[in-house]
Amino acid sequence: MFEARLVQSAILKKVLDAVKDLLTEATFECSDSGIQVQAMDSAHVSLVSLNLRSDGFDKYRCDRNLSMGMSISCMSKILRCAGAEDTVTLRAWDNPESITFIFESPNKDKLAEYEMKLINMDQEHLGIPETSYSCVIKMPSGEFSRICRDLSQFGESITFACSKEGIKFSASGDYGSANIKLVQNTDADKEEEAVVIDMQEPLKLTFACRYLNCFVKAGPLCNQVQLSMSDDVPLVCEYKIGDIGHIKYYLAPKIDD
Amino acid sequence: KHSQAKITSFFTKA
C-alpha cells in the first residue's frame, strides 16, 4: 500500500499550480525515499523534475515501488476542492488503477474523498548529466517573476547576460526594448531579499518567455529562486519546497541561427 | 534570429 499525508495540503496545491501550465500528464514514481516526477512539456523544450522526500511528509508508507500516471488537470481540479487548512492524504493500493485524495478539515468534522483514475503512460525518462555551472544566481522569486512578466511585453524571449557587474535581463521587439540589471546584494535586511551572484565565466543566453512565465508559477513555493547557467546547456530554475523537496525546471536555450 | 532548441538534444534517454 501507498499512503502519504501532508498536514498542509496548501503545499501540494502550490506544486500543482507550478506544473499545470506545462504538463498535461505525468508519472509519479513513488518509493521508500519519496515521490519523484520527471516530465517534459509537449513540445519537448522544457523538463520538470519534482522531488518530494518521504521524510518531509507527516506520514509516509510505500510498501512497493509504484509508477502512477496521472492527469495533471484532473489532479489540479481535485486539489482545488481542498480547504486551505485541510490535511491531505494520498492513498493507493498495490497495482493500483486509481489513487484517492483524502481531505480532512483541521477539527476533523469534515472528511472528503476523491478517487482519480490512473492513466497508462509511455514514459520517457531522461538522464540529466552532472554539470558544473559557470553562473549561479539566487534572487527573490517575486523579483524573478516580475522581471519575466515585465520583459515579456517586449519580445518572445529574454536574454540573460551575466558578468562581473551583475546580471542583465533584456528583451526587444517591435515596440522597443527593455533591460533590467541586478547587482549582488547580500546586505539585504532579510535573507529572502538577497541577490547572490556566483560567476565563474561571463555568459549570454536567450530563453523563451513562454516557458519562463510557466516556471515562475512556482514562486509561491519559495521566497528565493536559483538560476544555474552555462553556455549552450539548459537553464536550471530551482525552487525549494519547504523542507520536503524541490522543483527544478530545465529549459533549452534559443540558439543563434 | 533565434531558434528554439529541444531539451532532448541535451539530455539523453536514461
Residues A76 and A116: beta-carbon distance below 8 Å = no
Report the percent of chain A where pLDDT is more than 70. 100
B-chain residue closest to A233, CA distance: B10
pLDDT(A202) > 90: yes
Shortest CA gap A178–chain B (Å): 17
Shortest CA gap B9–chain A (Å): 9
Residues A28-52 have pLDDT tens digits of 999 999 999 999 999 999 999 999 9
Grid cell 472528503 is found at A112
Please judge whether B11 and A255 are an interchain contact, meaning their C-beta atoms are less than 8 angstroms apart.
Answer: no
Weakest-pLDDT range from A47-61, A96-110, A113-127: A113-127
- Report pLDDT for A124: 77
Residue A104: pLDDT band with limits 50, 70, 90: very high
pLDDT(A125) > 90: no
Q: What is the mean pLDDT of residues A74-101?
A: 96
Half-sphere exposure of A59 (CA within 13 A, CB side): 10
Please judge whether B8 and A253 are an interchain contact, meaning their C-beta atoms are less than 8 angstroms apart.
Answer: no
- Report pLDDT for A253: 97
- Report pLDDT for B12: 86
B-chain residue closest to A173, CA distance: B1
- CA nearest A54: which of A29, A31, A70, A38? A31
* A106 Cβ contact partners less than 8 Å away, ≥ 6 residues apart: A85, A86, A87
Q: What is the mean pLDDT of residues A233-244?
A: 96
Does residue A45 sit at the B interface (CB-CB below 8 Å)?
Answer: yes
The conformation of residue B5, written as its DSSP 8-state character, comes to: P
- Distance separating alpha carbons of residues A213 and A20, to the nearest angstrom: 12
Residues A254 and A206: beta-carbon distance below 8 Å = yes
